[in-house]
C-alpha cells in the first residue's frame, strides 16, 4: 500500500517585514527559499521609512561632472522613448514635462553617506557582491519600460507610490524591442501586480521581467548586486594570466610529423594547445579549435583585406571562371581549417566558414586556383566579396 507524501505548501510571494526582520523571515530562510530563485514582495520592510536623499539633492548630484545620470522621457501617445545622458545643467530640470519622465542616478551610495548606510541592512550578503545603490525619481507615469536585469536587485520604495508588475513565468519571452535605445521587452505579460508604498521592498532575482510606473511623484532606491558575466570573468582572467606569463613560454611542437593535409589544425595541435594553456582543459575540442582557428589566422600586424567596393555576382563569377579566369589569394589572407563531423570549418583572417574538407585543403595548399568546381563556387564567391580572394581575368596558358 502506497503512503502518500504530504504536499509542501507553496512559498508565499508576499510577506510582511518588521524592524527585527526586514525580510519578513530570517536571512537564512530568505537565502534558502528566495535568493536567485523567486521574487518576493516585503511589505513594511523598513517601518516608518525616511528617504536618505531628497529629489532636489538627487537632481543636484545629476549635475556633477563624474556622476552617472540619465533622464528618460516617454511620449505615451506615440510610445516613443528619449534618453539623455548627464551631467545635466540645473535649468534642464525646469524644462521637464509634468509627467512621464524619470531621473536615474547610479552609485549614489558613493556620494551620500546616508544612502550608503542602507547597505548595512544587507549585511547577510557578502560585501563584495554589492554593486551600487541607484536612485530614481519619477513624476506620474514615469518609468523605463518593461525590462529584465541580469543581477539580483532590491527595490525599496522611498517617496510616493509606484506600481510594479512582474512575470514569474519561466517561459516568459525575453526578446528586446529594436526601436528604442533602452533594452525594453517586446512582449510583457505580468503575472503579479502591486502598488508599493514607502518602506516596502521588492526583491527580484536575475531574469525576472518587470516594469515600474510612478503613481504621482515617487522615488525608488535600487540596491543592485555585482554579477559579472562568464565572458567578463574569462576575459579578465586571460588578461591577468597573460601579464604574468614569461615571453619565452610559447606554443611548441618538437614532436611534429610531416603534415598529411595542408592547413589542417589536427587533433595533435589541439592537444598541444591543452598543454600550453592549462586553464583551457575545461573547453571541449570544438570550442578550443574554433577559437584557435580564428586566432592563428589573424595577421600579427592587424593587416586585413578590405572587401571590394562592388560585390561580385554569382553570374559574373561563373562567366569569368568559364572564360578562363583564375582565383588568387589575397597576400594578407592567412588560412587554416578544422575537420568537423560533416565537412570542415575554413578559417580566413579570423573568420570561420563552413566548407568541404577537400576545398579547405586546396585553398590552404594553393595561392592560385586554376579550376573551381561548380559545387564550390558559392563559398569562393563569399570569400571574394569578403576580400580574401580575387578574380584574375584572362585565359589560362
Q: Which domains does the chain have, with CATH numbers?
A: 14-225 (2.60.120.650), 261-397 (3.40.366.30)
Question: Can you give the pLDDT at residue 302?
Answer: 56
pLDDT tier at 224 (50, 70, 90 boundaries)? very high
Supply the pLDDT for residue 397: 52
- pLDDT, residue 189, reads 96
Average pLDDT over residues 250-255: 80
| Structure confidence at residue 228 (pLDDT) | 82
Of the pLDDT bands very low, low, confident and very high (cuts 50, 70, 90), residue 7 is low
Mean pLDDT (whole number) for 223-235: 84
Kindly report the three-state secondary structure assignment for every residue of 333-371.
Answer: CCEEEEECCCCEEEEECCEEEEECHHHHHHHHHCCEECC
pLDDT of residue 252: 81
* Lowest-pLDDT choice from 15-24, 256-265, 376-385, 388-397: 388-397
> Quick one: pLDDT at residue 273?
85
pTM as predicted: 0.75
| Per-residue pLDDT tens digits for 185-223 | 999 999 999 999 999 999 999 999 999 999 999 999 999
Q: What is the mean pLDDT of residues 314-334?
A: 92
Tell me the three cell numbers of residue 27: 536571512
Structure confidence at residue 1 as a pLDDT band (50, 70, 90) = very low
Q: How far apart are CA 102 and CA 142, in angstroms?
A: 5
**pLDDT tens per residue, range 341-395:** 889 999 999 999 999 999 999 999 999 999 999 999 999 999 999 999 999 986 5
Average pLDDT, the chain: 90
pLDDT at 281 over 80: no
174, 224 Cβ separation under 8 angstroms: no
Question: What is the full DSSP assignment across 110-135?
Answer: GT-HHHHGGGGGGTTS-GGGEEEEEE
Phi and psi of 74, rounded to 5°? -125, 120
Q: Are strands 14-16 and 40-43 parallel, antiparallel or unpaired?
A: parallel
For residues 120 and 118, what is the distance between their CA atoms, to the nearest angstrom? 5
- Long-range CB pairs of 372-377 (<8 Å, 24+ gap) are 372/321, 372/327, 374/318, 377/314, 377/317, 377/318, 377/321
Residues 318, 365: Cα–Cα separation, whole Å: 23
Task: For residues 107 and 109, give the distance between their C-alpha atoms in angstroms, rounded to a whole number.
Answer: 5
Task: Please tell me the predicted confidence (pLDDT) of residue 395.
Answer: 57
Q: Over range 257-272, report the average pLDDT.
A: 88
Using alpha carbons, list the distances in angstroms from residue 86 to 71, 89, 93, 198: 8, 8, 12, 27
With CA atoms as reference, report the closest residue to 70 among 56, 85, 82: 85
Amino acid at each position: 500500500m502506497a503512503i502518500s507524501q504530504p504536499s509542501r505548501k507553496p512559498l508565499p510571494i508576499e510577506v510582511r517585514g518588521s524592524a527585527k526582520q526586514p525580510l519578513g523571515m530570517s536571512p537564512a530562510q530568505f537565502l534558502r527559499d528566495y535568493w536567485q530563485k523567486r521574487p518576493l514582495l516585503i511589505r513594511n520592510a523598513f517601518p516608518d521609512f525616511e528617504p536618505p536623499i531628497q529629489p532636489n539633492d538627487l537632481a543636484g548630484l545629476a549635475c556633477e561632472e563624474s556622476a552617472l545620470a540619465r533622464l528618460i522621457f516617454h511620449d505615451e501617445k506615440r510610445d516613443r522613448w528619449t534618453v539623455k545622458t548627464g551631467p545635466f545643467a540645473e535649468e534642464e530640470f525646469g524644462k521637464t514635462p509634468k509627467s512621464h519622465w524619470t531621473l536615474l542616478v547610479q552609485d549614489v551610495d558613493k556620494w551620500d553617506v546616508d544612502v550608503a548606510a542602507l547597505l548595512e541592512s544587507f549585511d547577510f550578503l557578502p560585501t563584495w557582491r554589492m554593486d551600487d545603490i541607484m536612485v530614481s525619481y519619477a513624476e506620474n507615469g514615469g518609468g523605463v519600460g518593461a525590462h529584465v536585469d541580469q543581477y539580483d536587485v532590491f527595490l525599496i520604495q522611498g517617496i510616493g507610490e509606484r506600481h510594479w508588475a512582474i512575470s514569474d513565468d519561466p517561459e516568459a519571452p525575453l526578446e528586446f524591442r529594436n526601436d528604442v535605445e533602452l533594452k525594453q521587452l517586446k512582449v510583457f505579460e505580468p503575472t503579479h501586480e502591486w502598488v508599493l508604498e514607502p518602506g516596502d521592498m521588492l526583491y527580484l532575482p536575475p531574469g525576472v521581467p518587470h516594469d515600474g510606473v510612478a503613481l504621482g511623484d515617487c522615488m525608488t532606491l535600487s540596491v543592485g548586486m555585482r554579477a559579472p558575466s562568464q565572458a567578463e570573468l574569462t576575459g579578465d582572467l586571460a588578461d591577468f594570466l597573460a601579464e604574468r606569463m614569461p615571453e619565452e613560454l610559447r606554443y611548441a611542437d618538437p614532436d611534429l610529423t610531416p603534415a598529411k593535409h595542408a592547413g589542417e589544425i589536427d587533433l595533435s595541435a589541439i592537444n598541444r594547445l591543452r598543454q600550453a594553456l592549462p586553464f583551457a582543459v575545461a573547453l571541449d575540442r570544438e570550442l578550443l579549435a574554433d577559437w584557435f582557428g580564428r586566432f592563428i589566422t589573424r595577421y600579427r600586424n592587424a593587416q586585413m583585406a578590405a572587401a571590394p567596393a562592388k560585390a561580385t555576382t554569382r553570374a559574373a563569377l561563373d562567366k569569368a571562371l568559364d572564360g578562363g579566369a583564375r582565383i588568387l589569394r589575397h597576400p594578407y589572407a592567412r588560412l587554416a581549417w578544422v575537420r568537423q563531423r560533416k565537412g570542415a570549418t575554413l578559417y580566413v583572417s579570423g573568420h570561420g566558414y563552413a566548407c568541404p574538407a577537400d576545398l579547405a585543403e586546396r585553398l590552404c595548399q594553393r595561392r592560385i586556383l586554376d579550376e573551381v568546381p561548380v559545387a564550390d563556387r558559392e563559398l569562393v564567391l563569399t570569400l571574394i566579396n569578403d576580400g580574401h580572394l580575387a578574380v584574375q581575368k584572362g585565359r589560362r596558358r
